[in-house]
Amino acid sequence: MAVVSWKEILLLTGLVVGCYWNSLSCGFVFDDVSAILDNKDLRPSTPLSNLFRNDFWGTPMAEERSHKSYRPLTVLTFRLNYVFSELSAASYHLLNVVLHAVVCVLFLRVCRLFLDKTSSLVAALLFAVHPIHTEAVTGVVGRAELLSSIFLLAAFLAYTRSTGADHSIVWTPIALTVVLVAAATLCKEQGITVVGICCVHEVFVAQGFTLPMLLDTLLQVLRGKDGFPYAVLQTLLKLIVLIISTLLLVIVRVQVIQSQLPVFTRFDNPAAVSPTPTRQLTFNYLLPVNAWLLLNPSELCCDWTMGTIPLVESPLDLRNLATLSFYTLLGLLAYHSLRYRHSSAKTVIMALSLIVLPFIPASNLFFPVGFVVAERVLYVPSMGFCVLVAHGFRIVSHKGHLKRISWLMIGVLLTTHAVKTFNRNWDWESEYTLFTSALKVNKNNAKLWNNVGHALENQNNYEKALRYFLQATQVQPDDIGAHMNVGRTYKNLNKSKEAEDAYLIAKSLMPQIIPGKKYATRVAPNHLNVYINLANLIRTNDSRLEEADQLYRQAISMRPDFKQAYISRGELLLKMNKPTEARDAYLRALELDRTNADLWYNLAIVNIEMKEPSEALKNFNHALELSPRHKLALFNSALLMQESGEPKFRPEANRRFLIYVEEEPEDANGYFNLGMLAMDADENAAAERWMLKAIRLQTGFRSALFNLALLYSQSRREMDALPVLDELLRHHPEHIKGLILKGDILMNHKKDTRGAKTCFERILRMDPTNVQGKHNLCVVYFEERDLPRAERCLEETLALAPNEEYVRRHLSIVRSKMAAMSAAGQPLSSVEGAKEEKGKAVKERVEEVVEGEVEGSGAVGKGSGVEKNGRKSSAESLRGAGKDQSESLDSSQAGKRTKTKSTKEITDIEKKRAAALKRLEEIERILSGD
């Protein structure tokens, strides 16, 4: 038994690298998006045990929407990739190339069992460059095939050592074979078929039986003329061990999927739901189609579902000739290999076993699968094909006059296949290149038109995407997903009426409920998103909220475990001011999925609406335990801590805001709230730095400008505050508190009564009932020594605020002063000596009022429904909410809050107020004594 030399290993590896090096520049496309980008099982924060409870796509096996593809070892390798390079596609592609090279070397080792040194190398070289493998090697999800093939070939090689030199049974290789079969099956389901290959090898190669010999032996035993020969008994014993092990693996596999087959629709595999004989004729016709792809891989396509291959509906269909020819050739090869004992027959029977047995699970002949043709499932069957080609090459090359021609033909074949493989890799560079290349081969597949549309949609090219989606509806008028895509694109183009019409068409195509039949078994789970998308569209109209709620409830009634319907309905109920019902919806969704950070976040938002801050904080913390860098949970939980006014929360709130700005470095809200925290902690330098950062990121940031000006004012830097207030009022001329603060600084620090008067008059033009602006204007009149006007002004102010004692006292002082001056014969327009004291009193009052009116930013959030069709990665619905206790920010801001004071700060304010009142009493005594 010849071994594989280092030169051969280097040759195969070099050839693989030469054919596939350009795959390193490809991204994540097609199924890679669901298996890699959207699969939470890859993240280190997800427990490893989840890999053995979830399917290949990260969906719990217990859920009906699960694909039931159980491949935990393959997902484990994806997770290792993530640990080293996170979502850098190049590392995933590199490992696939390495694994393909390993398969090629193992395949060469297997070929040496049936072929001579040259022919086996030809088979391995052809396998290394065959273009049919690009989907398995360049597509990252094809790693399941690569890993399964490694363990499959290793299991077969181990089994070939189970017979000793004296023809006795060696059990260690058999035990190793069972372990390797289990590993192959945990990489991909077809790995279990290696047991059949081992059985064929044991009977027809190791023991040298032919079919006539087996029949003759069986007849002898049945007639009682003789017992089973010892060699036959040994063979039976080994096969029984293999078969029992296989049955145990099958039982475990059935238990894992909980005896449920995955749900597929007629769009995935039209023949699977077709009547007899269409179903049988079509499935049998797919066999020569797959054989032709191996023989002539000139037109490859990433997706063969839907209308790619028209159904064979009649026995008179000419395509049945291809089926008949395929079975004839297969029968002749099988007859030749089973009838004779020579080496050629053994080579052919092993080649056929490699072609047929691994393909059976994907053949649709025994149970339907979720595709019509898939190039990657031909990865192992192509090994048998390459063995047949190499065997034919050996036979031809041994004929002298054909030797040179045979070598020339093999050289041309290897070269053309290598070039085709290299060029095919470029198709996998992006989703757009992949699906447009597929459309060149299959124009009758609506899914391809949809996927090109998705690729354009991801580039925000909605107009062009719409053309592809509309074409998909023309190719397949009953494709629910295509109509959903049209609706979503119209929505993105702000054409709500057209979007609603498209969604209604999709809804009308949904199967009607049949009494006694489970609804979910007849429709793809993602098609139920039409109810979510339609509800999300119409709920933008406040008069149609109940209609939207009815759609959510309809989706839930059809599928009680439809988590997204509960999430979207919870958001709607919150908008309808029904927080208790919203909370119940989120709690029901959490029963279905307690590991969803977005759900805990949404529940926290409901708690805020219900004025349950402690519960909200707990749920925010749950979200952050599951997703430590959940941006919205970081921001809103930190904001909640900040608003509590508790000093003990400040360090943690500061930490969370710092993480948030790492995640969102361009969001001014994060820096602004860091500034607010610094102000709370009397860290003025840090507060100034954060506020300036926020203003640089967002020109005209209303809250940041006002609070920076207030910070300067409180730090006795009034002159620095003025340019900040000027910028604030340039962007927001209606900002009343900014005008009050500016008027205060102008009057008390620049002694610019005219400028102050302009500020207060602007306030009253916008809000004639503003007591603070009115009172301060009265003070201006007093300082201008216009006592009659000041008196009238204060009377008007008192009418607006009859319970304000300070206004009443000031009016009394002015009247007393006017009486004293009249008695002394002095003109009422002159007030000597009172200006400075009164100004100080006004300043005290302004500071007192402004003290409790610090602006801030409220919680931020977003709301989204399920829009994208055909993916497992539909976005979860999120919602942010915050307290809006004073004025609203502009549309780019999420809200604003009133700064909540701690107990110590409240005490300080009360002291300031007491001092202000004492000062007013002193002024009253002075004025009374004048």
Backbone dihedral angles phi then psi of residue 60, each to the nearest 5 degrees: -55, 135
Per-residue pLDDT tens over the stretch 112-137 = 998 999 999 999 999 999 999 999 99
Report the C-alpha gap between 351 and 333 in whole angstroms.
10
Q: In sequence order, which ranges of 593-735 are alpha helices (DSSP H)?
A: 597-609, 613-626, 631-644, 650-663, 668-680, 684-697, 702-714, 718-731
pLDDT in tens, 491-534: 999 999 999 999 999 999 887 665 555 554 455 668 889 999 99
Cα separations (Å) of 655 from 659, 670, 673? 6, 11, 12
Q: Of 854, 888, 843, 856, which Cα lies nearest the Cα of 710?
A: 854
- The one-letter amino acid code at 273 reads V
The rounded distance, in Å, linking the Cα atoms of 508 and 545 is 21
More confident call, 920 vs 759: 759
Give the least confident one: 344-353, 642-651, 881-890: 881-890
Provide the pLDDT for residue 515: 55
Alpha-carbon distances of 448 from 180, 458, 461, 709, rounded to whole Å: 38, 15, 17, 58
3-state DSSP call for residue 416?
A: helix
pLDDT at 321: 96
105-109 long-range contacts, CB within 8 A, separation 24+: 105/4, 105/8, 105/9, 105/12, 105/13, 106/149, 106/150, 106/153, 106/154, 106/157, 107/153, 107/383, 107/386, 108/4, 108/8, 108/12, 109/3, 109/4, 109/153, 109/157
Region of poorest pLDDT, from 43-47, 62-66, 107-111, 796-800: 62-66
Lowest mean pLDDT of 197-211, 797-811, 852-866, name the range.
852-866
Give the burial class of 833: count Cβ atoms within 10 A of its Cβ; 0-12 exposed, 13-18 middle, 19 or more buried: exposed
Inter-residue long-range contacts of 393-398, CB under 8 Å, 24+ positions, other chains counted:
393/119, 393/122, 394/115, 394/116, 394/118, 394/119, 395/344
Question: For residue 780, what are its two tokens?
Answer: 């201006």
Identify whether the C-beta of residue 51 lies closer than 8 Å to the C-beta of residue 75: yes
- Looking at per-residue pLDDT, the higher value among 664 and 215 belongs to 664
Q: What share of the chain is helix, strand, coil (3-state, %, to 5)?
A: 70, 0, 30
Cβ atoms < 10 Å from Cβ of 625: 13
Query: Which residues, other chains included, contact 600 with Cβ-Cβ below 8 Å and sequence gap of 6+?
Result: 590, 619, 620, 622, 623, 626, 633
- pLDDT tens string 212-243: 888 887 787 777 666 666 777 888 888 899 89
Question: Is the dihedral angle over the CA atoms 694, 698, 701, 706 positive or is it negative?
Answer: positive
| pLDDT (0 to 100) of residue 32 | 94
Q: Is the pLDDT of residue 660 over 80?
A: yes
Mean pLDDT of the region 25-47? 91
Question: Once rounded to an integer, what is the mean pLDDT over residues 55-83?
Answer: 88
pLDDT at 871 (0 to 100): 28
Per-residue confidence band for 64, with pLDDT thresholds at 50, 70 and 90: low
Tokens of 442: 């299959």
Higher-confidence position of 153 and 884: 153
**Helix 563-575 to helix 529-538 angle, to the nearest 10 degrees?**
10
- pLDDT confidence band for 846 (50 / 70 / 90): very low
The CA distances from residue 47 to 29, 76, 780, in Å, are: 26, 12, 69
Mean pLDDT of 775-801: 90
- Compute the Cα dihedral for 68, 72, 76, 77 and give only its sign: negative
DSSP classification of residue 511: P
Looking at residue 785, what is its pLDDT? 85
* Average of per-residue pLDDT across 92-121: 96
What pLDDT score does 849 carry? 39
pLDDT (0 to 100) of residue 854: 42
């921001």: which residue's tokens? 635
254 pLDDT above the threshold of 60 = yes
pLDDT for res 593? 85
The residue-averaged pLDDT of 170-188 equals 94
Convert the pLDDT of each residue in 685-744 to its tens digit.
999 999 999 999 999 999 999 999 999 999 989 999 999 999 999 999 999 999 999 999
Average pLDDT over residues 146-157: 97
Task: Indicate the pLDDT class of residue 424, thresholds 50, 70 and 90.
Answer: very high
**pLDDT given for residue 485 in this prediction:** 96
Beta-bridge mates of residue 368: none
Closest of 839, 856, 903, 847 to residue 714, by C-alpha? 847
**What mean pLDDT do residues 281-302 have?**
94
∠ CA 295-299-300, rounded to 5°: 95
Q: How many residues does the chain have?
A: 930
CA 744 to chain centre: 52
Q: Is the dihedral of CA 241, 244, 247, 248 positive or negative?
A: negative
897 pLDDT more than 70: no
In the predicted structure, residue 74 carries a pLDDT above the cut 90: yes
Confidence of residue 260 (pLDDT cuts 50, 70, 90): low
Residues 6+ apart with CB under 8 A from 191: 148, 151, 152, 181, 183, 184, 185
Give the integer Cα–Cα distance in Å for 293 and 102. 24
Check pLDDT > 80 for residue 841: no
Q: Which tokens go with 775? A: 């009172």
When comparing pLDDT for 264 and 103, which is higher? 103
The mean pLDDT value of the chain amounts to 85
Burial class (CB in 10 A: 0-12, 13-18, 19+), 235: buried
Give the pLDDT of residue 821.
84
Point out which residues pair with 54 in neighbouring strands.
Answer: 60
Identify the band that residue 407 occupies on the pLDDT scale cut at 50, 70 and 90: very high
Q: Is the peptide bond before 277 cis (omega within 30 degrees of 0)?
A: yes
* pLDDT in the model for residue 11: 96
678 vs 398, residue with greater confidence? 678
Tell me, what's the pLDDT at 280?
Answer: 92
Instruction: Please give the Cα distance from 712 to 675 (Å, whole number).
Output: 13
Mean pLDDT of 824-841: 51
Note the pLDDT tens digit of each residue in 728-757. 999 999 999 999 999 999 988 888 889 999
Judge whether residue 46 has pLDDT over 90: no
Q: Give, in order, the Cα–Cα distances in Å from 18 to each of 5, 24, 415, 425, 434.
A: 20, 12, 12, 12, 21
Interatomic CA distance for residues 162 and 169, integer angstroms = 6
pTM over 0.85: no
Q: Residue 904 CA to chain centroid, in angstroms?
A: 46
Q: Per residue in 790-822, pLDDT tens?
A: 899 999 999 999 988 888 888 898 888 888 888
Per-residue confidence (pLDDT) for residue 573, from 0 to 100 = 94
pLDDT reported for residue 504:
95
Mean pLDDT of 566-584: 93
Report in angstroms the alpha-carbon separations of 910 from 230, 679, 900, 916, 924.
Answer: 104, 19, 15, 10, 21
- Return the amino acid letter for 174: I
* pLDDT at position 293: 95
End-to-end CA distance of the chain: 123
